[in-house]
Structure 1
Amino acid sequence: LLLKKSNWINRSKEKLLQKKGKALDFSQQAQLYYQGQAYPLRLIEQTKKRTILIFDKEVFLLYYHHYDEVLFQKHVDNFYKEEAKEFVPLLVEKWSDQMALTPTNIRFRKTKRQWGSCSGKNVLSFNTMMMKLPQDVIQYIVIHELAHIQHKHHKKSFWELVEKYMPDYKQHVTELKKYTT
């Protein structure tokens, strides 16, 4: 049955990956980015029937029982989400204190088009994939979204507030344009 349906399974898997964005390379030369640095990704087949992704600050290790790129992608996405939930609130707290602007809540999700947003109710949302970006660019995104608590637009007063807390913000805007979500 699996052999009969293998073409359908592969097509479905490709469609799912296309919906979720660019497919990751899970070859032996693969790399994952974390806070602006590229780290090698090593795939290690194991007898345990589970998949686990470990990052030891030098290399990503992906232990698996059955080769499944869709499952691997879920583990990578989950890694970025958990890291964002741990790292970004610390930045929000730091900059929130300095800027005297407090969000009502912070949310995280993987999005296709935005690195962050600020709702009308001052809820900050961040793209979990921002954990691939350099730390200074991540800080720029946090400052940018916090500034939207005071200014719900991108007029001169908004950019003046961003510049007050990050004088070199234009450099980060330029760098951010190199990346896709």
Structure 2
Amino acid sequence: MHPPETLARLDRAGARLGDADPRFVEPGRSNLAEAAPRARESGDVAAIAGGLVVANGKVRPAGPVAYGADPVLARAVLTVARFEPAVRAVASLRPLPSLARQLESHLRGVAVVDPQCAPPGIPSMDWAIARASADGVPDAVLVEGEALLLFGSTAEEVADEILILSSHASI
């Protein structure tokens, strides 16, 4: 049974992103997800159905929160949780090097990974996260050209970080 608290937290976090910088969102690719405790598969990870969109200059959830709504982001959070079990949430943002530099300027650890180096047959996102986390999980992973993944213990924590970045954005 999936705990409803995870869905409620994710729903609150998604609603708060209306004040986020819309330049951070890449329609069709940006999303927010949180894994249920003891998550093992993508169906144990809740995300926003349809991801994040920009409407009238505001970041909005495209649909309701649901378990299994974003298998790619679910794999990302499950991969990072293997290295650091306390990390259970992730946002996928526009892959801007300037945004990664902004994170670093706020004393956040950011790993930059070239997905072209991934071995054949391994999804580049999974490989990038595993490679970046081998010596400790960074706060964010910039998978060049694909996504900037921002990690946290809950979706609300990740949303807070996005809002802080938005208030200091100089991208």
Normalised by the length of structure 2, the TM-score is 0.29
Q: Which has the higher helix share?
A: 1
Which of the pair has more CA radius of gyration? 1
Normalised by the length of structure 1, the TM-score is 0.28
> Relative contact order, CA 8 A, sep 6+: which one is greater?
2
